Structure 1
Amino acid sequence: MVMDDAESVAYFHAGGGANPGMRAVYDLCARALDVMLPPGGRLLDLGIGSGRALSAVLRRRPDITAVGVDLAPNMLATARDLFAAEGLDGRVELVQADITALPDSIAGAPWDAISCMWTLHQLPDADVLAAALRQIAAVKRGSGAALWISDFARLRDPSACPAMLQCVDPDSPMGLRQDAIASEAAAFTREELSAALAVAGLGGLASGHATPLPYLQAYWAFGANGKPASAGQRPAQLHGQARREAALLRWGFTAKPF
């Protein structure tokens, strides 16, 4: 349930800064949350990891603030260093907590959006997934917040993810590749996650997935006040191969909120 040994955290964090595919996923999430958050909005990010995904959101939206929750001390320490280095530490609060049982100060706070990005595959079984989704549903219901959930999707063929990584990212470090393969294998299928969302009271969310290989899935809903007004064109955050991979990921996603 907790990815926290120093070597794994270091591989994951380094990959998030350098790997074009990972940066493309963070960009997709940032674009989604951009259209969900009103000006000056408050974001609750559950399972913040080393902070790369939330950093992409904060850099895209300099007007918002966030609280990031994670259970892993090494991940939180890495995220804290990242936000300080990027000058974002004044806009984000980090909290060590279990996303299945949030402190009342977080669960009952007013939020404009809730995100859970690349986190659910870390949960050990369907019972813990159900508890996490019930908690998310309760916070969403109490605050009227928008919601963005994205994660790996386990594929039918166990050889598909390793073959894809060998094809599209042959130069990635072995530790990072092994982590991605293990994460896909541990993920819930789209059918499993869709069913769990419905049971938790989150049925009816919009959804989309990556193509041609459906290894990523996403679910979302706008907040109680609907889609906020657009704030206009954003400056490009990515360049080179990462920008190309981000464009391909967006193009291939079957549906998205932006």
Structure 2
Amino acid sequence: MPTVRPLWRVPGIVVRERLHPSGRVRIPEPMVMDDPVSVDEFHTGGASNPGMRAVYDLCARSLDALLPPGGRLLDLGVGSGRALSAVLRRRPDIHATAVDLAPNMLATARKLFDSEGLADRVDLVQADITALPEKLSAAPWDAISCMWTLHQLPDFDILRGALDQLAAVRRRSGAAVWISDFQRLRDPAACPDMLVCVDPESPDILREDAIASEAAAFTFAELSTELTAAGLVGMHSGHSTPLPYLQAYWLFGAEGKPHAAPGVRRGELRGSARREAALLRWGFTAKPF
């Protein structure tokens, strides 16, 4: 029997978050997540957890709106590949180059792309997103994505290094930009309490990872300031509601919003994942599609 979700608690969690004083201290995570057990749990959760699949769907729909037909995507921080897989399956016309520093993450992503028949449309590169090799930084990209990665950067100096690299690629190529991540909330109890309400069946290790990621995330004010300082000005932005634990930023490419690509795939989610994705889209304050 499914666990009953105590959704009646959500309004109280939201009110406490809004009334909580600012100034919560950030708790950084390790920059490289490469422990085999953690990688496996994260990757497995990406296939089974409705909330994670909803987030991947939001990213895929957003990049669908940013990428022109036949576009070339540079994905910074590919992890185990689930988020990028959602993009590639939605847009069979695009090619991606995906970067990560963690060998086990890249190996897991390679197996995923092989199993899904996507390997011929994605190149995997082990590299530091704060110091991209010239073959990537100077290439002619149509879009750059950084999905759920920035919270893993240990401090503001390294965050600035990553954003400077991203901004430099944008200046050279005129590429569209999609950045999405957690946002650190005011109330440290808000994220744990909300997860109990909306996802009570989530494995403990997956829930603990989400809580740690939220605690390590940059706030909307922090990330907005650093994006502007890196030269990424005029970015559109949105966040989740009723609890703003997710945030996103984007820029269209130099030629503006692209025409819709032919042959895109839609409606792949089913059941609870489809419902969660619809709720996330509905509650997001702004998005590029």
Give the shorter-chain TM-score range. Answer: over 0.9
The aligned residue for residue 179 of structure 1 is 209
TM-score, with length taken from structure 2: 0.88
Checking the alignment, whether the CA contact within 8 Å between 2:138 and 2:169 is kept in structure 1 is yes
The aligned residue for residue 225 of structure 1 is 255
- Distance in 1 (alpha carbons) for counterparts of 2:278 and 2:160: 33
Query: Letter of the aligned partner of 2:94 in structure 1?
Result: I
Checking the alignment, whether the CA contact within 8 Å between 2:89 and 2:265 is kept in structure 1 is no
Choose from 36, 48, 51 the match for 1:21. Answer: 51
Is 1:61 equivalent to 2:91 in the alignment?
A: yes
The aligned residue for residue 214 of structure 1 is 244
Query: Letter of the aligned partner of 1:180 in structure 2?
Result: A
1:231 CA displacement:
3.0
Structure 2 runs not aligned, ≥5 long: 1-30
Alignment of 1:1-258 (within 5 A): 1-231=31-261, 234-258=265-289
- Distance in 2 (alpha carbons) for counterparts of 1:237 and 1:6: 29
Structure scoring higher RCO (CA < 8 A, sep ≥ 6) equals: 2
- Distance in 2 (alpha carbons) for counterparts of 1:177 and 1:235: 29
1:189 CA displacement:
0.5
State the structure with more CA Rg: 2
Query: Letter of the aligned partner of 2:287 in structure 1?
Result: K
SS, match of residue 158 in structure 1: coil
Query: Letter of the aligned partner of 1:122 in structure 2?
Result: Q
- Distance in 2 (alpha carbons) for counterparts of 1:48 and 1:101: 16
- Write the deviation string for residues 130-176 of structure 1: whole angstroms up to 9, x where unpaired: 11000000001100000000000000000000001100000110000
- Distance in 2 (alpha carbons) for counterparts of 1:92 and 1:134: 24
Structure 1 runs not aligned, ≥5 long: none
- Distance in 2 (alpha carbons) for counterparts of 1:198 and 1:146: 16
- Distance in 2 (alpha carbons) for counterparts of 1:32 and 1:46: 16
TM-score, with length taken from structure 1: 0.99
- Distance in 1 (alpha carbons) for counterparts of 2:148 and 2:211: 13
- Distance in 1 (alpha carbons) for counterparts of 2:172 and 2:228: 18
1:23 CA displacement:
0.3
Query: Letter of the aligned partner of 1:41 in structure 2?
Result: G
RMSD: 0.8
Checking the alignment, whether the CA contact within 8 Å between 2:81 and 2:109 is kept in structure 1 is yes
Q: What is the aligned residue count?
A: 258
1:203 CA displacement:
2.1
1:230 CA displacement:
1.6
Query: Letter of the aligned partner of 2:113 in structure 1?
Result: F
The aligned residue for residue 15 of structure 2 is none
1:204 CA displacement:
1.4
- Distance in 2 (alpha carbons) for counterparts of 1:239 and 1:231: 24
- Distance in 2 (alpha carbons) for counterparts of 1:214 and 1:7: 29
1:237 CA displacement:
1.3
- Distance in 1 (alpha carbons) for counterparts of 2:249 and 2:220: 10
Give the 4+ runs in structure 1 shifted more than 6 A: none
